Amino acid sequence: MHMKIQLLFIFLILAGKLAIAQYQYPPSKTVDSSDTWYNVTVKDPYRWLENLKDPEVSNWFKSQSYFTDSIINRSPFAYNLYLELKNLEFEQPEQKYGNLRIDHSLIYNLAKKGVRSRSTASSTKRILPKQLLRRKWGENYNIASYDLDPSEKYIAIYAMEGGKEINEVKIYSIAENKILPDRITGSYKGFMKNQNGVFYYTQRPTYDPHIAYSRNDEVFKTHTIGTDSSLDKVIVSKQTNPEIMSYSDERYLWEIQTFKGCNYEFTNISPSELYYRRSGTVNKWINLMDKEEVANYIYYYNNKIYYTSFKDAPNGQIKMLDLDHPFANREIILAEPADAIDGMPLQRQRIT
């Protein structure tokens, strides 16, 4: 019995070493670097990685990225995980596609109106190989994600350059099967769901990671596909909309939500600050919530806003706000249940 335990122990040690040996991680050198504060010396042997202009640093990011890709792409469970994530998606009328897997090719999924999309080979269309997309950006770029415009004519494919905090977007025309010449200076945010062929993006005062800046100094612009970027319109800035771009704390504008068929646009600055205004304007943003209201996961349908709220309801409740009468009392659609609402987005079937 004692011999069996010894053999089992040896086996576990060897198995552990083999598991470690199968991953040959890219080397990360160390250099002598330190700072001294108040007579305390703090070593920083990886500070050399902060110099993003150094070709050696760029190659380090590449090697780390390629190593990660090689492990994930070999995993037999990657596709199963993708299918599980697909099963967790919630259908919305303006979303007839999902965040489908990007592996050796970029794929997207289109479904008929009113029919829930299935993750089957027959419902996917393969377009640009990943290798071709890499050549269009460069080897130091990794595809981050993609987005389908509401007319279903264009796909915005955006990638991140190693070591940088800005994405670069390219517009793919489905009908023409090619990348269009549209170019912007800034980070892609998303398509305007209530306008065909229009997306918005942000511009920062600086893209140097060593220089601090305020999010309130960012500028939000829209770009119409097929036009020169010099014609892009500023939709939010500190100059045009100080009411949501002048915070002195940690709050800031992150994204703008739009919905197909809705003439308004929305943004959640904080859970108790749901702002809206007429889309396509630089009008003043108006807060729809009072100080005690908390709105999560807004959903638009038939000129009404549905949202989960925790005001006077610790377990949450679903309320409705009529945009024709935005400051009237909100109607409670689902009273506070015995079990807490987990904050997941609302399904169309639940409110129609």
Task: Return the pLDDT at 191.
Answer: 95
Task: Answer for the pair 156, 175: CB distance below 8 angstroms, yes or no.
Answer: no
Q: Which domain holds residue 151?
A: 55-241
Domain membership of residue 117 (yes or no) is yes
pLDDT digits (tens, 9 = 90+) for 242-253: 999 988 888 889
Domain membership of residue 16 (yes or no) is no
Domain membership of residue 254 (yes or no) is no
Mean pLDDT of 87-107: 44
Mean pLDDT (the chain) is: 76
- Which residue has better confidence, 288 or 293? 288
Domain count, the chain: 1
Tokens of 231: 């014609």
Report the C-alpha gap between 329 and 40 in whole angstroms.
59
Task: Return the pLDDT at 120.
Answer: 34
DSSP state for residue 230 in the 8-state scheme? G
Domain membership of residue 172 (yes or no) is yes
Q: Cα separations (Å) of 285 from 192, 218, 250, 273? A: 17, 17, 19, 11
Mean pLDDT of 121-145: 59
Task: Return the pLDDT at 136.
Answer: 67
- CA torsion sign for 256, 229, 171, 167 is negative
Report the C-alpha gap between 163 and 64 in whole angstroms.
11
Nearest to 134 by CA among 101, 155, 159, 115: 159
Cβ-based neighbour number of residue 92 at 10 Å: 17
pLDDT digits (tens, 9 = 90+) for 32-43: 888 888 888 888
Nearest-10 Cα torsion for 312, 314, 316, 321:
20
SS (H, E, C) 242-303: CCCCCCCCCCCCCCCEECCCCCEEEEEEECCEEEEEECCCCCCCEECCCCCCCEEEEEEECC
Task: Return the pLDDT at 154.
Answer: 93
Report the C-alpha gap between 304 and 327 in whole angstroms.
12
pLDDT digits (tens, 9 = 90+) for 323-337: 888 888 889 988 888
- Please report which confidence band the pLDDT of residue 218 belongs to, taking 50, 70 and 90 as the band edges: very high
Share of the chain above pLDDT 90, in %: 21
- Longest Cα–Cα distance in the chain: 81
Core vs surface per residue 207-226: b (16+ CB within 10 A) or e: eeeeeeeeebebbbbbbbbe
Domain membership of residue 47 (yes or no) is no
- Which residue has better confidence, 95 or 213? 213
- Which residue has better confidence, 312 or 75? 312
Share of the chain above pLDDT 70, in %: 69
Mean pLDDT of 339-350: 54
Task: Return the pLDDT at 70.
Answer: 76
Q: Cα separations (Å) of 123 from 96, 98, 115, 120, 220? A: 12, 12, 12, 6, 35
- Please report which confidence band the pLDDT of residue 61 belongs to, taking 50, 70 and 90 as the band edges: confident
Task: Return the pLDDT at 178.
Answer: 86
pLDDT digits (tens, 9 = 90+) for 174-203: 888 888 999 999 999 999 999 999 999 999
Report the C-alpha gap between 86 and 170 in whole angstroms.
25
Domain membership of residue 184 (yes or no) is yes
Task: Return the pLDDT at 78.
Answer: 65
Domain membership of residue 84 (yes or no) is yes
For residue 311, pLDDT over 50 is answered with yes
Mean pLDDT of 52-72: 83
- Which residue has better confidence, 75 or 280? 280
Domain membership of residue 326 (yes or no) is no
Report the C-alpha gap between 292 and 271 in whole angstroms.
10
